[in-house]
Chain A
Amino acid sequence: MARVIVDVLPKAEILDPQGQAVARAMGRLGVDGVADVRQGKHFELEVDDTVDDAALERIAGSLLANPVIEEWVVRRVQ
């Protein structure tokens, strides 16, 4: 078994109103200096040895992320 992390974020050119709302709320905590926030998704997968990198890329690029609006990074952590 291996643990795989997939992080998904909206593409830079896609408006992220949720991230902007979060950024504005940070000011209310008294923390200034946060210039930008982008909100995405974090997936943790437990996979067995039959799941190769190509399969992980297919999972990430055709289900976990929508390539029209999102970018993603796949990492094996153990």
Chain B
Amino acid sequence: MSRIGVITFPGTLDDVDAARAVRYAGGEPVGLWHDDADLRGVDAVVVPGGFSYGDYLRAGAIAARSPVMGPVVEAGRAGMPVLGICNGFQILCEAGLLPGALVRNHGLRFVCREVGLRVEADTAWTSSFTVGQHIRVPLKSGEGRYVADEATLDALEGEGRVVFRYTEPAPNGALRDIAGISSADGRVVGLMPHPEHAIDALTGPGTDGLGLFTSVLSRFTAAA
């Protein structure tokens, strides 16, 4: 069974739901701690949401420089699938695995509601979807406004690295309505909304979010 690491930093909130999503999708979640020096042989890593280190300095800034992120950055650059959700997306940007940054929502309000997303790229974490498919997942963040300079935005669009876009005007003011992006090889993906909260109709808006986790697991099944 494929082993998916789920990192817990001090202040992480969504590691339990992320581990549950991995289990629902048929994988084995492996807990990783912020102070770990290695990744315990996992096949992929999820960096979950929350408020690591209380959002001190900038959201994700301290976590990005914690011990476990050294091997995550190294493995991500070498092609290991890595998914950053919400604070995890902020951490991947702060760590330099993904370009751009997440800043305060343009309306200054914390946004907590379901959003529609359009899947725009076939990546390690979206292969279970079809490009153009609409999904619904919760968004809950105060600093979710994706920004990057024009050249970076043009490059992301040109290279097919905008993975998720809000189907409505971005509720946080994200440039070009970008909700999620990927690395050049499509293995490292970050997004602000929370697919791990949309895996069971009992506790979320539906099961659309499960597709991210089945996507990465199907890679390993196909390879085995």
| Chain A residues, Cβ within 8 Å of B106 | 15, 17
| Chain A residues, Cβ within 8 Å of B145 | 15
| A24 to B105 CA separation, bound complex (whole angstroms) | 18
| Chain A residues, Cβ within 8 Å of B108 | 17-18, 21
Taking the complex as formed, is B116 at the interface, i.e. its CB lies under 8 A from any CB of chain A?
Answer: no
| Chain B residues, Cβ within 8 Å of A63 | 57, 61, 65
Beyond A63-B61, A66-B94, whether A15 also contacts B100 by CB under 8 A is: no
B139-183 near A? 1/0 per residue, CB < 8 Å: 000000101110000000000000000000000010000000000
Determine if A66 and B101 form an interchain contact, defined as CB atoms under 8 angstroms apart. Answer: yes
Determine if A69 and B61 form an interchain contact, defined as CB atoms under 8 angstroms apart. Answer: no
Taking the complex as formed, is A77 at the interface, i.e. its CB lies under 8 A from any CB of chain B?
Answer: no
Taking the complex as formed, is B104 at the interface, i.e. its CB lies under 8 A from any CB of chain A?
Answer: yes
| Chain B residues, Cβ within 8 Å of A64 | 57
Determine if A69 and B57 form an interchain contact, defined as CB atoms under 8 angstroms apart. Answer: no
Min distance, Cβ A37 to any Cβ of chain B, angstroms: 14
| A15 to B149 CA separation, bound complex (whole angstroms) | 12
What is the interface size of chain A, counting residues whose CB is below 8 A from a CB of the partner?
A: 11
From DSSP, what is the main secondary structure of chain A's interface residues? mixed
| Chain A residues, Cβ within 8 Å of B57 | 63-64
| A66 to B99 CA separation, bound complex (whole angstroms) | 12
Contact of A69 among B65, B101, B105, B107 (CB under 8 A): B101
Taking the complex as formed, is B58 at the interface, i.e. its CB lies under 8 A from any CB of chain A?
Answer: yes
| A18 to B145 CA separation, bound complex (whole angstroms) | 14
A34-78 near B? 1/0 per residue, CB < 8 Å: 000000000000000000000000000001101011000000000
Taking the complex as formed, is A29 at the interface, i.e. its CB lies under 8 A from any CB of chain B?
Answer: no
Contact of B107 among A10, A14, A17 (CB under 8 A): A17
| Chain B residues, Cβ within 8 Å of A15 | 103, 106, 145, 173
13 interchain pairs (CB within 8 A)?
Answer: A14-B103, A15-B106, A17-B104, A17-B107, A17-B108, A18-B104, A21-B108, A63-B57, A63-B61, A66-B101, A68-B101, A68-B147, A68-B149
Sort A-B residue pairs by CB-CB distance and give the 8 closest, nearest first: A68-B101, A69-B101, A17-B108, A17-B106, A66-B101, A17-B104, A69-B103, A66-B58
6 further A-B pairs in the complex, CB-CB below 8 A; given A14-B147, A66-B61:
A15-B103, A15-B173, A17-B105, A18-B104, A66-B58, A68-B93
